[in-house]
Homo-oligomer: A and B are copies of this chain.
């Protein structure tokens, strides 16, 4: 294994320390709970929004903490759900009189941790609601899920409820918005290589030199099919067909299109995929109103990409277009 790390056990803490040192004015890091929170949260004026998950998907979710996005994130170790006490402690610290919204990607371990933390928090009198994201069309059930997995489309739920919370929406309204965005969001990915977790030190699964995993999960879970590598245009067709027919999206729709890198794929290839996908959608009468090209939800160093489509309406588009300030930036 060749990675930048000192000790696999310190991988997540050292990353979080770096994140906090890079954002001293806006983020607070609480090492005991892997907690990254906005320095200005909780606020009496604003519902707090909390997301947790295993680490290894950066920028999700610790680098999505900031104005107009998450109030806090409490990751677990790499590909491991955060312990219940991390989530519970995070909810207590972020408890606002306006309430706390928990965002959870649909994985059994994450659900358990968040549902137990919600129970404990409600018993403390905190106003909490939990919202599950399940945008991955690849498979119905999976290695770590009952029902569909939550993957990169989670970004759009975070962005929409984050913008609404910033504007003063109440907890019920945020649940409505989050469910609405999740309901019109569809994702599917493809792996060109496996990823290597720091503590394992070797690839999580085997993929031959000419093989790809269509519909891969962000923890390396099997997808729909182990296939042979194909030209980018064919891969885009396969992914878009799965997405478009699922919702379904149809001619006349205006969409957000995300081309998400899984960690080891250069941005040049993501733009190449974007161009192909944009034209394919246009040929079907589907207009890309907003585009998102880069890394949003990764799988460590996996080479691969996922496509996400969101059907836009005026409300969703306004929320996606609202300003936000998170650590990931160019300048």
Contact status of A5 and B276, CB under 8 A, knowing A19-B271, A159-B331, A266-B300: no
On whether A55 and B15 interact (CB within 8 A), knowing A6-B232, A231-B5, A305-B4, the answer reads no
Given A4-B273, A22-B278: A326 touches B330 (CB 8 Å cut-off):
yes
CB <8 Å contact, B298 and A266: yes
Contact status A267-B295, CB under 8 Å: yes
CA distance A305 to B4 in the complex (A): 9
> CB within 8 A of A267: which of B210, B273, B298?
B298
**Within 8 Å CB of A56, what residues of B?**
268
Do B18 and A274 have beta carbons less than 8 Å apart? Answer: yes
**Looking at chain A's contact residues, is the secondary structure mostly helix, strand, loop, or mixed?**
mixed
Smallest CB-CB separation from A299: which chain B residue?
Answer: B266
Q: Given A298-B267, A330-B326, do A18 and B320 touch, yes or no (CB 8 Å)?
A: no
Q: How far is the CA of A320 from the CA of B192 in the complex (A)?
A: 37
Q: Specify which of B3, B18, B233, B329 is in contact with A192 (CB 8 Å cutoff).
A: B3
Check B275 against A21 for contact (C-beta < 8 Å). Answer: yes
State A222–B218 Cα separation when bound (angstroms): 35
Residues in B whose Cβ lies below 8 Å from that of A3: 192, 269
Closest to A208 in B: B2
- The yes or no answer to A293 lying at the interface (CB within 8 A) is yes
Q: A22-B278, A278-B21, A295-B267 are in contact. Are A11 and B272 (CB under 8 A)?
A: yes
Report how far A268 CA is from B209 CA in the complex, Å: 26
Chain B residues in 8 Å Cβ range of A18: 271-276, 278, 293
Q: Which residues of B contact A55 (CB under 8 A)?
A: 268
5 shortest A-B CB distances, which residue pairs? A18-B275, A18-B271, A4-B269, A2-B192, A18-B274
Known contacts A15-B268, A22-B278, then 10 further A-B pairs from the complex at CB < 8 Å, ordered by chain A residue: A2-B192, A2-B212, A3-B269, A6-B233, A11-B272, A14-B232, A18-B276, A22-B293, A265-B301, A323-B331
A and B contact pairs by CB, cutoff 8 A, 14 listed? A4-B265, A18-B274, A18-B278, A22-B278, A22-B291, A56-B268, A58-B266, A58-B267, A59-B330, A264-B264, A264-B266, A266-B298, A266-B300, A266-B301
Q: Which residues of A contact B (CB under 8 A)?
A: 2-7, 11, 14-19, 21-22, 55-56, 58-59, 63, 159, 192-193, 209-210, 212, 229, 231-233, 235, 263-276, 278-279, 291-295, 298, 300-301, 303, 305, 320-321, 323-324, 326, 328-331
